[in-house]
C-alpha cells in the first residue's frame, strides 16, 4: 500500500506564494499534508493559492509575512501553530536575489540580504524547533539555499554571504537537535526556471522574452532546474521516507563543482 509522504503533517512554507515555494505547497498537498501555511508579501497571490489548494481538499492558510522583519517571520510559525494546533515540517523557500558586487554593495543592501536570506530563516527554524521539542515529537526542516553559497558569481556577493551562512546554520542546527529527532537539511539549487527568475533575467541582465529558450540551450541537460521536480524532492526530504538523513546540504545542479573541461 502506498502511503502519502506527508500524511497527518502540518507544513509551513516561507515564500510559498510563488515559484518554488508554491510548487512545494502543491506537492505537499498532493502528498496528503493535514494542513499547509504559506507566507509571503503578495496577499492576492497568497490568498488565491491558499483557496485553490483548500478547494482541492487540503486546508491551506496564507499568512502575510515580510521576512525583512524578523518578528513577522517568527510570528508566522506561531500563527501556523495557532491555526492548525501543530507544526511538523518547515520549508524556508523565500529568498532575496537583488544584485551586488564586493565593490558596489551598500551596507543597506547587505543587511537586506542577511535579513531575508539568513536571519528570518534562522528564527523560523528556532521557533519550529522549540515547538517540536515542546511536543516531544520528531519533525523536519528544509532550507532552500543555493549552489551559489559555494562561491557564486561576482554580482551575487551579499546573496552568497547570506546563503553560505544559511548552509552553515543548517548543519549546526541538525547536529544540535539530532537527539530531538528533528532532521534539518538544505538544498543547494542551481539555475531554475521560475517566474521570478524570468523577472530577474530581464531586470538585471537585459534578457529578452526568449531568455528561457537560450538558457535551456546553454546547459548540459538541455533544461534549467524544474520547480515540480525540485518540489517533489523537497517533500521527500521532509518525509519519513528520507530516513535518518540530517545535516546534509545537497547539490541540485547539473554542473559538477571541481570538474574541468
155 given a catalytic annotation: no
What 3-state DSSP class applies to 239? coil
Nearest CA to 173 out of 125, 245, 114, 117 is that of 125
Cell numbers found for residue 56: 482541492
Instruction: List the catalytic residue out of 62, 84, 159, 252.
Output: 159
Residue 106 is given by DSSP the state -
Calculate the dihedral angle through the C-alpha atoms of 173, 175, 180, 184, rounding to the nearest 10 degrees: 50
Task: Tally the residues of the chain.
Answer: 261
Q: Report how far residue 141's alpha carbon sits from residue 47's, in angstroms, rounded to the nearest whole number.
A: 24
Nearest CA to 172 out of 143, 212, 208 is that of 143
Q: Within 10 A of 57 (CB to CB), how many other CB atoms are there? A: 9
Q: Give the catalytic positions in this structure.
A: 159
Amino acid at each position: 500500500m502506498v502511503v502519502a509522504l506527508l500524511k497527518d503533517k502540518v507544513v509551513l512554507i516561507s515564500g510559498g506564494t510563488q515559484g518554488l515555494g508554491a510548487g512545494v505547497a502543491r506537492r505537499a498537498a498532493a502528498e496528503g499534508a493535514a494542513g499547509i501555511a504559506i507566507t509571503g508579501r503578495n496577499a492576492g497571490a497568497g490568498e488565491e493559492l491558499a483557496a485553490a489548494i483548500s478547494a482541492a481538499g487540503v486546508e491551506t492558510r496564507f499568512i502575510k509575512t515580510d521576512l525583512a522583519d524578523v518578528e513577522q517571520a517568527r510570528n508566522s510559525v506561531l500563527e501556523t501553530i495557532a491555526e492548525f494546533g501543530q507544526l511538523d515540517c518547515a520549508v524556508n523557500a523565500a529568498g532575496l536575489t537583488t544584485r551586488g558586487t564586493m565593490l558596489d554593495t551598500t551596507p543597506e543592501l547587505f543587511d537586506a540580504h542577511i535579513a531575508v536570506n539568513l536571519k528570518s530563516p534562522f528564527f523560523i527554524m528556532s521557533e519550529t524547533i522549540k515547538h517540536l521539542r515542546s511536543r516531544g515529537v520528531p519533525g523536519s526542516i528544509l532550507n532552500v539555499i543555493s549552489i551559489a553559497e559555494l562561491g557564486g558569481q561576482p554580482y551575487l556577493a551579499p546573496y552568497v554571504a547570506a546563503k553560505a551562512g544559511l548552509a552553515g546554520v543548517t548543519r549546526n542546527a541538525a547536529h544540535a537537535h539530532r537527539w530531538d529527532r528533528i532532521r534539518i537539511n538544505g538544498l543547494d539549487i542551481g539555475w531554475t526556471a521560475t517566474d521570478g527568475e524570468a523577472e530577474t533575467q530581464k531586470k538585471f541582465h537585459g534578457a529578452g522574452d526568449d531568455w528561457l529558450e537560450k538558457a535551456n540551450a546553454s546547459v548540459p541537460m538541455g533544461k534549467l532546474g524544474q520547480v515540480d521536480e525540485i518540489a517533489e524532492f523537497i517533500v521527500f526530504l521532509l518525509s519519513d521516507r528520507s530516513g535518518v538523513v540530517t545535516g546534509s546540504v545537497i547539490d541540485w545542479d547539473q554542473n559538477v563543482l571541481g570538474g574541468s573541461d
